[in-house]
């Protein structure tokens, strides 16, 4: 085997509720939602209003800051509602699905026989350009850029994360077609990063036109930011694009079928799920049919995504645009008196604070309780134990807090995303909302540079 990038700093969180490798077709949802909040750096402009009829692939809204980036409906049907928040901010565009699907036809084509401009035009017209994001800022890529590389993370190390090798089984043709499209978009390399700890899918290993890189280690080894940092770090003025495997398959279907086929496989996970399994459904589907009669009674939290980076939704909420996972865990709405003084056999800790370290193979039913309130932000050395990038995490967070643009640049903000700091937030003794601070810093830098 070629050289392996070894990630030594990080943390695997052993949660109960990993999905069994069985795929079921989810019952079709009645409602589907597309949420502008899933997309960073967006100022939403509606293109469809309540009562309008749309086909699968018709745009629902676009980004006024990037007019080429449109966000399509995953289904055909009628616009049911547009949910708004403060200052009439658009939170969700909800489509009531037809019983028989109608698709907007964008035309078939083999990427290998197409020019770069033709590929960009097809992706922007269909709305699938939104799958291609860039570092820095983790926003939709600018098609006028020539990225120095495109990265594909072929594995996910987040808690209870779905197995990408299992997700893409049998999708080799569409995956290759999607990769062929990506290779036309850069003069640099397309990096496909795989986990060396187990044999990867042949869909990955037989893909042409990519450079395969191998990684091993705990979470966040599967984060594309960590992989970029190890293989081709981003300097000021440089741009790297990244796409995830199931999104590449969707792009491949666009060229193979000429339509936006929004089907994907997601993992329903978590300690409160009675039967954690994989389900095939459409992007943006309401999770109501997934969780009905399949969740333990009690006060629980539904999360679109992982416990570290996902979004809290209701039991009738909608799957996030980029999410391959729905997690259900207990709510932590209780006060624990002197919890730090107890032996803690049922508590997980990365240190030996609790006696649970005597059971290294145990999986835990963890809830959302912070076990304490926000307090003074101090240097504890905990971040560095779980943050594997060549960046000083505490110093960068403090630079963001004081809005020191120059210092943020020097400390490497162009390379990071909030998900790269998720473990820092998990182990933070000060209970500081690190991920939201990082996003504020990225938004600040983006506005400064425009």
Q: Residues 293-326: pLDDT tens digits?
A: 999 999 999 999 999 999 999 999 999 999 999 9
CB distance 318 to 286 below 8 Å: yes
Rounded mean pLDDT of 85-99?
96
Q: Whole-angstrom Cα distance, residue 313 to residue 329? A: 12
263 — pLDDT class (breaks 50, 70, 90) = very high
Rounded mean pLDDT of 424-446?
95
Q: Whole-angstrom Cα distance, residue 268 to residue 287? A: 10
Structure tokens at 296: 């333990």
CB distance 427 to 11 below 8 Å: yes
Q: Residues 62-75: pLDDT tens digits?
A: 999 999 999 999 99
What's the sign of the alpha-carbon dihedral 63, 69, 71, 72? Answer: positive
Q: Whole-angstrom Cα distance, residue 239 to residue 256? A: 29
Rounded mean pLDDT of 267-294?
98
What is the pLDDT, as a whole number, of residue 333?
A: 76
The domain segmentation of the chain, as residue ranges, is: 29-257, 334-365, 370-449
Strands (E), 384-438: none
338 — pLDDT class (breaks 50, 70, 90) = low
Residue 410 makes CB contacts below 8 A (sequence gap 6+) with none
Phi, psi (5° rounding) for residue 318? -115, 145
Least confident of 152-166, 325-339, 416-430: 325-339
What is the pLDDT, as a whole number, of residue 356?
A: 57
Question: pTM for this one?
Answer: 0.95
Least confident of 18-22, 177-181, 371-375: 371-375
Q: Whole-angstrom Cα distance, residue 101 to residue 88? A: 31
What is the pLDDT, as a whole number, of residue 449?
A: 80
Tell me 146's DSSP state. -
What is the pLDDT, as a whole number, of residue 376?
A: 83
Question: Within 13 A of 326's CA, how many CA atoms are on the CB side?
Answer: 35
Element (H, E) at 93: strand 90-97
What is the pLDDT, as a whole number, of residue 361?
A: 72
CB distance 118 to 138 below 8 Å: no
């Amino acid at each position: 085997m070629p050289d392996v990038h070894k990630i030594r700093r990080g943390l695997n969180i052993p949660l109960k509720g990993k999905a069994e490798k069985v795929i079921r077709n989810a019952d079709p949802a009645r409602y589907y939602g597309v949420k502008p909040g899933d997309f960073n750096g967006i100022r939403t402009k509606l293109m469809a209003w309540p009562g309008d009829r749309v086909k699968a692939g018709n745009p629902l809204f676009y980004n006024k800051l990037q007019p080429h980036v449109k966000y399509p409906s995953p289904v055909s049907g009628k616009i049911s509602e547009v949910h708004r928040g403060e200052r009439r901010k658009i939170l969700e565009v909800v489509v009531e699905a037809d019983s028989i699907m109608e698709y907007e036809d964008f035309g078939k084509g083999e990427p290998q026989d197409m020019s770069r401009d033709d590929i960009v035009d097809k992706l922007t017209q269909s709305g699938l350009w939104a799958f291609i994001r860039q570092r820095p800022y983790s926003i939709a890529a600018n098609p006028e850029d020539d990225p120095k590389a495109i990265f594909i993370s072929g594995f996910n190390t987040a808690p209870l994360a779905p197995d990408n090798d299992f997700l893409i089984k049998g999708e080799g043709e569409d995956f290759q077609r999607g990769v062929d499209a990506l290779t036309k978009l850069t003069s640099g390399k397309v990096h496909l990063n795989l986990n060396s700890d187990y044999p990867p899918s042949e869909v990955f290993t037989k893909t042409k036109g990519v450079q395969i890189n191998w990684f091993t280690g705990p979470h966040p080894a599967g984060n594309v930011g960590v992989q970029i940092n190890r293989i081709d770090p981003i300097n000021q003025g440089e741009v790297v694009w990244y796409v995830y495997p199931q999104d590449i398959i969707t792009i491949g279907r666009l060229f193979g079928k000429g339509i936006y086929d929004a089907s994907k496989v997601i993992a329903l996970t978590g300690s409160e799920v009675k039967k954690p399994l994989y389900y095939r459904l459409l992007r943006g589907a309401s999770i109501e049919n997934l969780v009905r009669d399949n969740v333990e009674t009690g006060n629980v939290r539904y999360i679109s995504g992982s416990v570290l980076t996902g979004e809290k939704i209701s039991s009738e909420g909608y799957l996030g645009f980029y999410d391959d996972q729905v997690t259900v865990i207990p709510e932590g709405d209780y006060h624990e008196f002197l919890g730090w003084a107890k032996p803690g056999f049922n508590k997980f800790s990365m240190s030996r604070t609790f006696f649970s370290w005597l059971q290294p193979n145990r999986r835990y039913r963890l809830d959302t309780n912070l076990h304490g309130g926000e307090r003074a932000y101090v240097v504890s050395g905990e971040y560095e134990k779980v943050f594997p990038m060549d960046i000083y995490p505490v110093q960068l967070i403090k630079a963001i807090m004081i809005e020191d643009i120059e210092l943020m640049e020097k400390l490497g903000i162009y390379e990071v995303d909030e998900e790269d700091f998720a473990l820092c937030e998990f182990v933070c003794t000060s209970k500081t909302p690190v991920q939201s601070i990082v996003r504020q810093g990225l938004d600040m830098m983006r506005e400064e540079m425009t």
